[in-house]
Structure 1
């Protein structure tokens, strides 16, 4: 039954034969999907059905079909399904019901497609503006707001046939390293976590969240063995299970992420996470690592390295939660017009004016900014196909100029030349506080003295480093719904959102 404790992913829009054989050999009970596996609603529905059929046939139980559908920056659904705004955008609407509504919409999409386990919401308090991986995925930098909105997002999942998962315990909001790429370290004591990071997780546990994901963060002042939370029995069993009293499913983040693969080894990390008390260990895509991990887990069991009673109880818990899953996809739930309208409305409500004097854009406006890019390992490999400057230039019949994500002096000079004959300037930034060439570009354009606006299309922290003469807006997402919302603002609409983080 060890295969029930493993979650594996794959590349491609159909199940590869070698992946099928791996599932058959080790009786793997669960599969995780990413945008790389998705082409359309019809294709995804067929893929989920094939996964369920294979896992049912090989294990006798349904599969958890897991997906990271947070909304906003982390979306995995096709264009003919409804993707909702992300957490920070929902918080910016200043309407707590939007967090609940976004979950209800997402549940309908997943029920309509056949996925049954959503790795959301993010309950990290984004207390570090330099955080490269959480940012707009968080409901904000105040624990109470994160807790309140997180619980609102969790509530609709109860009895829905779809599970949700709060992440990344005990908190990934105060890191300056992306755990997809390196090993984050937070030098806090447990008492400090109680004052901030643990508040949303405690509230979620009280609210009945069915699952919690561990973070790949090192807390050296709490865990003396110098292993990240995912592999720490002190954190998984001692803190989460025993001290906080959590009885639901405990998951790892992906074990092929750099924080585990490069520092501890993926197969070794999976074995350690199970020893720590984790219920479900996940590997996203690397077939060789999945095969090695499956072998390592079975060999560790044969050597008697696991607590047999603990493994039995964990598998029983997994199977108990599988009884709660929807039996089959209901296509009619997906991509309803009213859900699409509601998602667009939330994106519009989120637009926040930080400061400055509004103006209307027209054909004499110069639109500038970088294309979308993979801002962190959590984001999709391919960013938005539509760029902000091109969208706006097309909407207003104006000039658009697309830059690199970190424009150099030569590119800045080119942008200035392009802007010479315009009357107004609108720049879109995308985490310019991390790629400072964008801020240099903003400063150079502002120095022209022309009326100028800057829209932060991801983290709003960019705006604290923009000249005060500029009209500053936060949109929280590099996506077409946010572009449409900004277009309305630039045509004279009012920005009603309230930024949920403090700008330094």
Structure 2
């Protein structure tokens, strides 16, 4: 079924893939046929484990990146990257070498070009694993949070991100997002999604979570986390609540440093714990750890990922969670600063982790775990506990019955018109109108026909088809406005500001996108100069809603919480009055002159 000359996967019939999947796992089953889809039988799973070699058990605990669009015939640049990182050429060779239990897809690893290609890559990975002696299906994962973090782009359906969903406040919409997004991932062979973000973002300066969080109210975050979990898992995709025990109150990005959360135990119970408790109550399949220091929970100085008091004492024993625990990526500074890459995976397993995600040096990590068992630091029984949890999840998802997906199904499931229309309607319910002095909005082509659209042409997340200024201008043009576009960047120079002011003089209105405006940002100067022209100015905060506090003279201010197409198109419809804004702030916006005072509280949002 596989053409190694092209790397393409043939279109097997449904009967063919069912037979292939069942036959591959039947050889492993003890005392009967292969597990049926969704059937979790610990006796049979333990039978599978008893037949595995130690090396195979170690491999089941690792989830690795791999480069290339094909499991057997990647491009030369990806072959070179695989050789450099792993000493192999392809995903198939990587799986054969390490007997991996999981693979994670990234855009930058060239895994996610388009839905049909993703489907063929997934089938190729499964075939490579099942071709091995005692081969087991691979659990394929990705970070498809929506909003600013998406690994699978168009034509897949892209939804508003978490903070936008928090502004919408609808459990039904969150459940629908999970159900549709899960169905599309499932069709591409991706069966574990590292979402929802369960962190409560109580720190406006948080550089790594921010709009990836549903908001600052633990109860509201809990409701939406549980709803998304239900939606994803109803579609046969394992949801993953992250980042335990809570990454919402930090000013350090754990990709580049080692954050400390200074909450007391009581504060943690009140602020950080509720969404994770809600996820556990909703039957969450996996929980991701955080590379953060929480002295109130463990005063050893170790990150939570390596903390037995946190992962076993609190998560397992106190919260009663017995599902899969996966680390955040092990290539991040937060987990590497105290220990070397050989010690981190061993300590994580000792703490209670089951899946070791994306170690920077897979050979070092894999061999370190193997040696720890051989030397007696880790027992094989401890490995068996985690392998059992991983296999339980694969069995629940039906992977042990049929790991393949039918390529033709992806065209019907991914990005269909009904899904796209649903995403647009949800986005309209999240757009938040923060300021509308004198009823400036909505604008109409009759009175404000010529619109200048300014802002930063930001690096595009997968949910965008082009620069945000162009997307917003295009959406306004479709609604009858004549638009001019000008990129001004996140730090416009004096010359750029002068050109923008001159262009504003030829317009009936200006729409300017703001991006994380700071006290010293030249974006402030740009907006102030535009206001001085007397031309009506509408500002759109395309990431953090806190921008509004730094620009008090703006008469109309919207928050979209991201610059993805679906949110910018919704903002255009709100600006034009095609729909009324319905979003409510899910975080408070503090005053800049006195951060102890609130300028706009949680729940603020205007309409017309």
Category of TM-score, reference length = shorter chain: over 0.9
Q: Secondary structure at the match of 1:350?
A: coil
- Assess if the C-alpha contact under 8 Å between 2:505 and 2:535 holds in 1: no
Determine the structure 1 residue equivalent to 2:415: 335
Q: Secondary structure at the match of 2:131?
A: helix
Query: Kindly tell me: are residues 311 and 470 of structure 1, through their superposed partners in 2, closer, same or farther at Cα, counting changes over 3 Å?
Result: same
- Deviations along 1:332-389, one digit per CA (max 9) or x if unpaired, are 3322221111011111221111112314164432211001237xxxxx5x78452232
Query: Kindly tell me: are residues 409 and 232 of structure 1, through their superposed partners in 2, closer, same or farther at Cα, counting changes over 3 Å?
Result: farther
Determine the structure 2 residue equivalent to 1:500: 586
**Among residues 372, 384, 390, which one is paired with 2:470 in the alignment?**
390
* Deviation of 1:56 (Å): 2.5
Determine the structure 2 residue equivalent to 1:473: 558
- Quick one: distance in 2 between partners of 1:455 and 1:24? 50
- Assess if the C-alpha contact under 8 Å between 1:132 and 1:434 holds in 2: no
* Deviation of 1:263 (Å): 4.6
Query: Kindly tell me: are residues 297 and 18 of structure 1, through their superposed partners in 2, closer, same or farther at Cα, counting changes over 3 Å?
Result: farther
Q: Secondary structure at the match of 2:485?
A: strand
Structure 2: 5+ residue stretches without partners: 1-56, 72-78, 80-88, 591-608
* Deviation of 1:180 (Å): 1.4
Query: Kindly tell me: are residues 482 and 238 of structure 1, through their superposed partners in 2, closer, same or farther at Cα, counting changes over 3 Å?
Result: same
Q: CA RMSD in A?
A: 2.1
**Among residues 388, 391, 394, which one is paired with 1:322 in the alignment?**
394
The answer to whether 1:412 aligns with 2:497 is yes
- Assess if the C-alpha contact under 8 Å between 1:169 and 1:215 holds in 2: yes
The answer to whether 1:437 aligns with 2:522 is yes
- Assess if the C-alpha contact under 8 Å between 1:181 and 1:258 holds in 2: yes
- Quick one: distance in 2 between partners of 1:83 and 1:392? 16
In the alignment of these two chains, the number of paired residues is 495
Determine the structure 2 residue equivalent to 1:43: 117
Q: Secondary structure at the match of 1:365?
A: strand
* Deviation of 1:41 (Å): 0.8
- Quick one: distance in 1 between partners of 2:442 and 2:90? 58
* Deviation of 1:449 (Å): 3.2
- Quick one: distance in 1 between partners of 2:457 and 2:571? 16
- Quick one: distance in 1 between partners of 2:551 and 2:338? 38
The answer to whether 1:30 aligns with 2:102 is yes
- Assess if the C-alpha contact under 8 Å between 1:260 and 1:266 holds in 2: no
- Deviations along 1:176-208, one digit per CA (max 9) or x if unpaired, are 111112211112222210011001111211221
- Quick one: distance in 1 between partners of 2:431 and 2:489? 24
Determine the structure 1 residue equivalent to 2:61: 5
* Deviation of 1:320 (Å): 1.3
Query: Kindly tell me: are residues 441 and 291 of structure 1, through their superposed partners in 2, closer, same or farther at Cα, counting changes over 3 Å?
Result: farther
- Quick one: distance in 2 between partners of 1:120 and 1:443? 39
The answer to whether 1:452 aligns with 2:507 is no
> Residues 210-289 of structure 1: matches in 2 within 5 Å?
210-283=285-358, 286=360, 289=361
State the TM-score, normalized to the length of structure 2.
0.77
Determine the structure 1 residue equivalent to 2:11: none
- Quick one: distance in 2 between partners of 1:262 and 1:76? 27
* Deviation of 1:435 (Å): 8.3
State the TM-score, normalized to the length of structure 1.
0.93
- Quick one: distance in 2 between partners of 1:421 and 1:478? 26
Larger gyration radius, structure 1 or structure 2: 2
- Assess if the C-alpha contact under 8 Å between 2:531 and 2:553 holds in 1: no
Query: Kindly tell me: are residues 218 and 406 of structure 1, through their superposed partners in 2, closer, same or farther at Cα, counting changes over 3 Å?
Result: farther
- Assess if the C-alpha contact under 8 Å between 1:216 and 1:259 holds in 2: yes
The answer to whether 1:189 aligns with 2:264 is yes
- Deviations along 1:46-90, one digit per CA (max 9) or x if unpaired, are 001111111223352211101111111111223122122211212
Query: Kindly tell me: are residues 158 and 469 of structure 1, through their superposed partners in 2, closer, same or farther at Cα, counting changes over 3 Å?
Result: closer
- Quick one: distance in 2 between partners of 1:19 and 1:61? 15
**Among residues 429, 450, 455, which one is paired with 1:349 in the alignment?**
429
Q: Secondary structure at the match of 2:205?
A: coil
The answer to whether 1:143 aligns with 2:229 is no
Say which is worse superposed, 210-219 or 83-92, in terms of deviation.
83-92
* Deviation of 1:4 (Å): 0.8
* Deviation of 1:405 (Å): 2.3
Structure 1: 5+ residue stretches without partners: 375-379
Q: Secondary structure at the match of 2:357?
A: strand
Q: Secondary structure at the match of 1:99?
A: helix
- Quick one: distance in 1 between partners of 2:164 and 2:525? 26
- Assess if the C-alpha contact under 8 Å between 1:372 and 1:383 holds in 2: no
Query: Kindly tell me: are residues 406 and 266 of structure 1, through their superposed partners in 2, closer, same or farther at Cα, counting changes over 3 Å?
Result: farther
Determine the structure 2 residue equivalent to 1:54: 128
Q: Secondary structure at the match of 2:339?
A: coil
- Assess if the C-alpha contact under 8 Å between 2:298 and 2:309 holds in 1: yes
